[in-house]
Structure 1
Amino acid sequence: MDFEQADALNQAIRLLSLRHRARTAALLAPLGLHPGQEALLLELARTGPMIQAQLSEALGVEPPSVTLMTRKLEAAGHIRRRPAPSDKRAGIVELTDSGKALADQVKRLWCALAEETVTGLPAQTVAELPVLLATLTGNVDSRRPRHAHGRRNGG
């Protein structure tokens, strides 16, 4: 790939990421949420109560970020934290009734944002996007192990 093609690709991904996050922030603000908090709410709505360490892993964020988000969401009454029965040092996080209602609002917002984002694309392309984007994410994931046969890019 030459520089012009690489630059166009990298710029497009960067701009999409920045603009999607900004649009997410604008849509979440009326709900009293910041980007990232919606993912935590949706994960708990999907899975039920989780230990904070598991939540950190599921969200792909560092434990201190989950701690900060859970404190803010707990203060707002959307989640509750309690000690895990098997390990009093571990905290179980669960949605409150308020959090469940908020997660339902976030689900509707998430559908609207996705539809807004893919407007004008053919249905087939939209159907393929999650797999394509997951592949791109995997390709740049810094936690991914290196190939067994050595470093990439002929190094």
Structure 2
Amino acid sequence: MDFEQADAVNQAIRLLSLRHRARAAALLAPLGLHPGQEVLLLELARTGPMIQAQISEAIGCEPPSVTLMTRKLEASGHITRTPAPSDRRASVVELTDSGRALADQVKQLWCTLAEETVTGLPAQTVGDLPGVLRTLAGNVDTRQPRPSHGRRAPA
């Protein structure tokens, strides 16, 4: 890939990321949420109670960020945190009734955001998009060892 093509790909991904996050923030603000908190709420709605370390892994977020999000969501009454029976140092996080209602609102918002994002794309492209984006994310996942792509390690 030459620089012009690389630049076009990287700039498009960067711009999409920035604008998608900004639009998500604008949609979440009336609900009293910040970007990232909705992902935590949706994960708990999908899976049920989890310890914070599991949440961190599931949503791809650093543990200190999950701790901060859970504190804020607990203070607003949307989740509860209780000591894990098997490890008192760990906290089990669970949605409250308020949190479940908020997660339902977030699901509607999430549909709106996705529909806005893919407007104008053919249905086949929209269907292929999640797989393509997961592949792209996997290609730049810093938690995974990088393939050598035929390069030899220095001797």
Q: Which TM-score tier does this pair reach, normalised by the shorter chain? A: over 0.9
Task: Please report the TM-score for the alignment, with normalisation by the length of structure 2.
Answer: 0.96
- Over residues 111-146 of structure 1, what are the superposed CA-to-partner deviations in whole Å (9 max), with x where a residue is unaligned? 010000000000000000000000000001111113
The CA deviation at 1:55 is 0.4
**SS of equivalent to 1:82:** strand
Q: Separation in 1 of the partners of 2:150 and 2:75?
A: 48
Matched with 2:90 is 90
**Corresponding residue for 1:61?**
61
TM-score (ref. length: structure 1): 0.96
Please state if 1:8 is matched with 2:39.
Answer: no
Alignment of 1:137-152 (within 5 A): 137-147=137-147, 151-152=148-149
Indicate yes or no: 2:43 matched with 1:46. no
State how 1:101-116 maps to structure 2 within 5 Å.
Answer: 101-116=101-116
Q: Pick closer, same or farther for the CA change 1:4–1:153 going to 2, 3 Å.
A: farther
Distance 2:48 2:38 in 1: 15
1:42-63 alpha-carbon deviations (Å, 9 max, x no partner):
0000000000000000011110
Structure 2 residue aligned with 1:154 = 151
Give the corresponding residue for 2:126: 126
Alpha-carbon distance in 2 for matches of 1:8, 1:109? 30
Question: What letter corresponds to residue 83 of structure 2 in structure 1?
Answer: P
* Paired-residue identity, %: 81
- How far is 1:153 from its partner? 6.7
4+ runs deviating over 6 angstroms: none
- Aligned mates of 2:62, 2:10 — CA distance in 1: 25
Root-mean-square deviation (CA, aligned residues, Å) is 0.9
Q: Counterpart of 2:82 in 1: which secondary structure? A: strand
